[in-house]
Structure 1
Amino acid sequence: MSRLLKDLKRLTPDGVLCHFARSLRVGSLLLTCFVVVACQSFESVEPTKHTESGVAMSPSRFELLPHWPQERHLHAFRALMHSCPKILKQSAQRPLLLAAPMHVFGDLQKVCQAKVSVTTDAQAKTFFETYFKVYAVTNNGSNKAFFTGYYEPQILATRQKQAGFTVPLRAPPSDIVTVDLGAFDTALAGKKLYGRLDANQLKPYWTRADINSGALGAQHDKPIAWVANDVDKFFLQVQGSGLLVLPDGQTLRVGFAGRNGHPYTAIGKPLIERGELERETISMQAIRAWLLAHPSEAMQVMNLNASYIFFSENTAQATVGAQGVPLTPEHSIAIDPQYWGYGLPLYITADVPQAQASNTGARADHTAALARLVIAQDTGSAIKGALRGDFFWGSGSDAAIKAGQMKANGILWVLLPKQS
């Protein structure tokens, strides 16, 4: 144990920690990691004095939020109510967000405990305006935000290995060690290491390539289901959860249960650099189509992403996010929990794809403005920073198209509970 403590002391944020302590639900972030996009300029908002790590908030007004009167407030209210049981379990003094530590979960708990009857959009709109104040968010003086999308995929699978279904979805192996660094140093609160013990030394856990090559061994390998190909598994790991359709028509929902601790690495970017795909037309569908069309090269390309996600069966009737609550399509968002507490309402604007497309990589033919009140209920490996979000579109083919093509510039506001 003393050797382990020495190793942990050596693994500072300036060293190996930066490699292994990346917070992730998996899930989401397809295109942020897949491509690098040029972002347009947005008008900056004068920051308030409440700043930390470059993030600042300026008081705003609900009537200044684009399309606020037309928003589907009741859906957002119901999404917030899903979060309330988890919110009420938090320490009342725990900060809600990094940029303004004087706002604590106790403030949000009072909102959850309010005795209100909300059954219409109008009542929900009044609820948010009554119990919250809205703030514009900036980072180093810029309000330029970036949003991607994710969805719940549906994949054919079997519970037992059989012809045509030979690729395992794995539960967390028994030898993986998770270390909460905050228990050793409060400055590292929220940071974790994932590794394995080798001669009493903590070493990085196996990479995706290692695991695909059999590094787990029979002792630690725990398949929970089998899918038809590695591409299906790869994108299920990117999304972080999904619905498995079994041969008898029954379904099995699986969700994120652990990871190997290696950072998520884009695979779209090297495909662009190799000239395999065009930056202007890249999408989740285009990447998937390329992988399926190049089976001899697909594994090598997927192994460029060393991150590996483990699953467990999920008995919930809906997709569950990192907060541990059901996600609401188009009203749940994955955020960086280093900046935002789970359960916080956020308001976002962005341009999103609006046309149907095939799975061959065709893109939407136009975009439309999205203005939406969402609840922070999830996270993902590429969701880093205060002005970064992954928008949950739901499930089905339409959601898959929108999620796969969404890489949108936008603006973000946060709704903070009023303090008594």
Structure 2
Amino acid sequence: MRVAGAAFAALLSLTSTAAAQEDLSLRVLDFAELDGWSDDRHDEALDVFTRSCDLIDGPEWPGLCELASRNPQARTFFELFFRPVLIEDGRDPLFTGYFEPEIDGARTRTHRFRVPVYSLPSGGTSLTRSEISQGALAGRGLEIAWVDDPTELFFLQVQGSGRIRLTNGQTIRIGYAGHNGHPYRSLGEALIARGTYEPHQVSADVIKNWVRRNPVEGQALLDHSPSYVFFRELPNLAMSLGPIGAMNRSITPMRSIAVDPSFVPLGAPVWIEKAGADPIHRLMIAQDTGSAIKGAQRADVFYGTGDKAGKQAGRIRDPGRVIVLLPIQIAYALQERAAG
């Protein structure tokens, strides 16, 4: 699977009509303009880059991938062959975080574990979350496992991958397989609209606890979002590796990000400057996407696996700056196209 050719075509299309798009701007920067560049562990980023470099389409990349595989001095490699490109589209920059949940479950239904985790039906489905939660898919042999909390399953679906800890001590790795085609609606925004909470009070834990305290109204709240995600089991994915991202490769905590591939080619290095209480200035690799990740200055940072990573990721909603590193010839070609 090669993933970046369409992204470059989209970038060229965007920049070729930049004069008609008042909000779109593109500027090639110097590495000296990247705040904290010299302090980063570029070797860590290079290692992650090489794991998916072979999937980046375009004639400029195979040679770079070959050089990267020879274990060069990492900072020198990036500075010699890339240029930082700042692309802005008029939307406010926004950083969020995501993680890989771990929840309890069983292979068979029990009194405790009664919520099914479904694989994708053959041919797909347009059933809503409400219809599925009422049993519309029951009896079709689609159950991967059963879990004990519909809210935990909901947030696992939001993240798109996870681990299910079985009662026998084993763990199932699952990844995104598809969805029902319906839009995602925020549970937090629904609770705010109802006056249940103020915006600053809402978090994943607050939503989970409210649903548990109000099981009937809680199920109705979950069904407020008609979107439903299906999973596939990943039996060959080692426990030591991160979940599978959009490039069908394992992603890495604090080095992988989800981006909008309309602006950032998947597989490309990306320098981020995230502000907020826990600032991050480091080189990441764009290895994932997300339905809520839209815009040139939008990024979702992968924090890792489990509850600790989830709490860290859940606190992140910060401004900052996203700067994609592109091969020199692509960077200057895009700049010239934008200027023209």
TM-score bracket, normalised by the shorter chain, equals: 0.7 to 0.9
Query: Structure 1 113/50 Cα, relative in aligned 2: closer, same or farther at 3 Å?
Result: farther
The structure where helix makes up a greater share of residues is 2
Q: Tell me, what secondary structure is at the counterpart of 1:277?
A: coil
- Choose from 128, 131, 145 the match for 2:93: 145
Determine whether 1:56 maps to 2:25: yes
Query: Structure 1 325/115 Cα, relative in aligned 2: closer, same or farther at 3 Å?
Result: closer
TM-score by length of 2: 0.85
Give the C-alpha shift of residue 368 in structure 1. Answer: 2.7
Give the C-alpha shift of residue 269 in structure 1. Answer: 0.7
- Choose from 220, 234, 249 the match for 2:169: 249
Q: Tell me, what secondary structure is at the counterpart of 2:301?
A: strand
Q: Which amino acid aligns with 1:111?
A: L
Determine whether 1:111 maps to 2:64: yes
Instruction: Give deviations 1:115-173, integer Å, cap 9, x for gaps.
Output: 65437xxx211111112111112114x6x411110001111111111221111100001
What is the 5 A alignment of 1:169-208?
Answer: 169-176=117-124, 205-208=126-129
Instruction: Give deviations 1:271-314, integer Å, cap 9, x for gaps.
Output: 11222222123222222222222222111111111111000111
Determine whether 1:125 maps to 2:75: yes
- Choose from 165, 176, 183 the match for 1:263: 183
Give the C-alpha shift of residue 373 in structure 1. Answer: 1.2
Determine whether 1:345 maps to 2:314: no
- Give, in whole Å, the separation in 1 of the partners of 2:186 and 2:127: 18
Structure 2: tracts of 5 or more residues without a match: 1-13, 331-340
Q: Which amino acid aligns with 2:47?
A: R
In structure 1, the partner of 2:214 is 294
In structure 1, the partner of 2:328 is 418
CA contact (8 A) 2:68 2:77 kept: no
Q: Which amino acid aligns with 1:149?
A: G
Instruction: Give deviations 1:150-198, integer Å, cap 9, x for gaps.
Output: 001111111111221111100001131xxxxxxxxxxxxxxxxxxx5xx
What is the 5 A alignment of 1:11-30?
Answer: none
Give the C-alpha shift of residue 256 in structure 1. Answer: 0.4
- Give, in whole Å, the separation in 2 of the partners of 1:335 and 1:267: 23
Determine whether 1:273 maps to 2:183: no
Give the C-alpha shift of residue 332 in structure 1. Answer: 0.6
Q: Which amino acid aligns with 1:316?
A: L
Q: Which amino acid aligns with 1:240?
A: G
Q: Number of residues paired by the alignment?
A: 311
Query: Structure 1 393/272 Cα, relative in aligned 2: closer, same or farther at 3 Å?
Result: same
In structure 2, the partner of 1:240 is 160
- Give, in whole Å, the separation in 1 of the partners of 2:181 and 2:15: 36
Q: Which amino acid aligns with 2:153?
A: K
CA contact (8 A) 1:55 1:139 kept: yes
In structure 2, the partner of 1:320 is 244
Determine whether 1:160 maps to 2:108: yes
Query: Structure 1 228/150 Cα, relative in aligned 2: closer, same or farther at 3 Å?
Result: same
Q: Which amino acid aligns with 2:76?
A: T
CA contact (8 A) 1:55 1:386 kept: no
Q: Which amino acid aligns with 1:112?
A: C
Structure 1: tracts of 5 or more residues without a match: 1-46, 91-104, 177-195, 197-204, 353-366
In structure 1, the partner of 2:334 is none
- Choose from 86, 104, 111 the match for 2:55: 86
Query: Structure 1 48/64 Cα, relative in aligned 2: closer, same or farther at 3 Å?
Result: farther
Q: Tell me, what secondary structure is at the counterpart of 1:218?
A: coil
Q: Tell me, what secondary structure is at the counterpart of 1:393?
A: strand
In structure 1, the partner of 2:143 is 223
CA RMSD of aligned residues (A): 2.1
- Choose from 393, 405, 417 the match for 2:303: 393
In structure 2, the partner of 1:209 is 130
TM-score by length of 1: 0.70
Percent identical pairs in the alignment equals 38
CA contact (8 A) 2:87 2:263 kept: no
Instruction: Give deviations 1:94-120, integer Å, cap 9, x for gaps.
Output: xxxxxxxxxxx222232112265437x
Query: Structure 1 115/211 Cα, relative in aligned 2: closer, same or farther at 3 Å?
Result: closer
- Give, in whole Å, the separation in 2 of the partners of 1:69 and 1:154: 36
Query: Structure 1 115/234 Cα, relative in aligned 2: closer, same or farther at 3 Å?
Result: closer
Greater mean deviation of Cα atoms: 105-114 or 406-415: 105-114
Query: Structure 1 70/48 Cα, relative in aligned 2: closer, same or farther at 3 Å?
Result: farther
Determine whether 1:76 maps to 2:9: no
Q: Tell me, what secondary structure is at the counterpart of 1:346?
A: strand
In structure 1, the partner of 2:5 is none
Q: Which amino acid aligns with 2:133?
A: N
Q: Tell me, what secondary structure is at the counterpart of 1:419?
A: helix
CA contact (8 A) 1:107 1:418 kept: no
In structure 2, the partner of 1:361 is none
CA contact (8 A) 1:48 1:58 kept: no
